[in-house]
A and B are shown apart, each in its own frame.
Chain A
Amino acid sequence: MSASTTLSVRGLTQTFGDRTALDDVSFEVRPGRLTGFVGGNGAGKTTTMRAIVGVLKPDAGEVTFGEEPMTLGVRRTIGYMPEERGLYPKMKVLEQLIFLGRVFGVDKDVARERATQLLEDFGLSDRAGDVLHTLSLGNQQRVQVAAALIHDPALLVLDEPFSGLDPNAMDAMSERLRERASAGVPVLFSSHQLDLVEKLCDDIVLIHEGRVVATGEVRSLREERAGRRYRVQVEGLPDWSPDLPGVSVLTAGADGTTVELADGADPQALLVSAQQAGPIAHFGRVLPTLADLFAEVSR
Chain B
Amino acid sequence: MSAAARPTANRSDLVRTIAGREISVKLHDKGFIASTVVFLVVIVVATVLPALLEGGTPSYTVGVTQGAQSEAEVAQRLGGLNNDERPSDIPAADITLVDVASVEEGLADQDVDAVLTVDGQNAMLSGRDSMPDELLTLVTVAHAQSVIGAVATEAGLDADQLATLTSPPAPQVVLADPPPDFAVPPQLVIIVFGFLFYFSVLTFGMSIAQSVVEEKQSRVVELLVAAVPIRWLLSGKVLGNAVLAISQVAIIIGAGLIGASVTGASDVIGQVAGVSGWFLAFFVVGFLMLACLWAVAGSMASRIEDLQSTTLYMQIAVMVPFFAAVLIQDDGPLQRFLSYFPLTAPLLMPARMIQGTAAGWEPWIAMALVLLTAAILIVVGARLYAGSVLNTSKRSHLRSAWAQGAGA
* Chain A residues close to B by CB (< 8 Å): 5, 50, 53-57, 68, 72-78, 80, 82, 84-91, 99-100, 102-105, 147, 154
Number of residue pairs across A and B with beta carbons under 8 Å? 78
- Contact of A103 (CB < 8 Å), options: B3, B18, B218, B392: B18
A100 & B1 in contact (Cβ 8 Å cutoff): no
CB within 8 Å of A: which of B1-44?
A: 1, 3, 6-10, 13-14, 17-18, 21, 25
| A53-B226, A82-B222, A86-B222 as given contacts; A105 in contact with B7, CB under 8 Å | yes
Cα–Cα, bound, A54→B227 (Å): 9
Any chain A CB within 8 A of the CB of B225? yes
B407 & A86 in contact (Cβ 8 Å cutoff): no
- Could you give, for residues 185-221 of chain B, a 1 whenever the CB lies within 8 Å of some chain A CB and a 0 otherwise? 0000000000000000000000000000011001111
Smallest CB-CB separation from A4: which chain B residue? B2
| A56-B390, A86-B218, A105-B9 as given contacts; A100 in contact with B25, CB under 8 Å | no
Q: Chain A residues with Cβ under 8 A from B408's Cβ?
A: 57
A89 & B9 in contact (Cβ 8 Å cutoff): no
Cα–Cα, bound, A84→B219 (Å): 7
Cα–Cα, bound, A57→B407 (Å): 9
- Contact of B223 (CB < 8 Å), options: A68, A72, A80: A80
B223 & A100 in contact (Cβ 8 Å cutoff): yes
B226 & A75 in contact (Cβ 8 Å cutoff): yes
- Could you give, for residues 93-107 of chain B, a 1 whenever the CB lies within 8 Å of some chain A CB and a 0 otherwise? 000000000000000
Q: List 23 A-B contacts (CB under 8 A).
A: A5-B1, A54-B226, A55-B390, A68-B3, A72-B9, A73-B8, A75-B227, A76-B6, A76-B7, A76-B9, A77-B6, A78-B226, A78-B227, A80-B226, A82-B223, A86-B220, A86-B221, A87-B220, A91-B25, A99-B17, A100-B223, A103-B17, A154-B1
Smallest CB-CB separation from A5: which chain B residue? B1
Cα–Cα, bound, A250→B1 (Å): 52
In the A-B complex, the 8 residue pairs with the smallest Cβ-Cβ separation, listed nearest first, are A86-B219, A86-B220, A82-B222, A154-B1, A53-B226, A105-B7, A84-B219, A86-B223
Any chain A CB within 8 A of the CB of B228? yes
7 extra interchain contacts, Cβ-Cβ under 8 A, other than A103-B18, A154-B1?
A55-B390, A57-B407, A84-B392, A86-B220, A87-B220, A102-B17, A103-B223
- Rounded to whole Å, the gap between the CB of B42 and the closest CB of chain A is 28
- Rounded to whole Å, the gap between the CB of A45 and the closest CB of chain B is 15
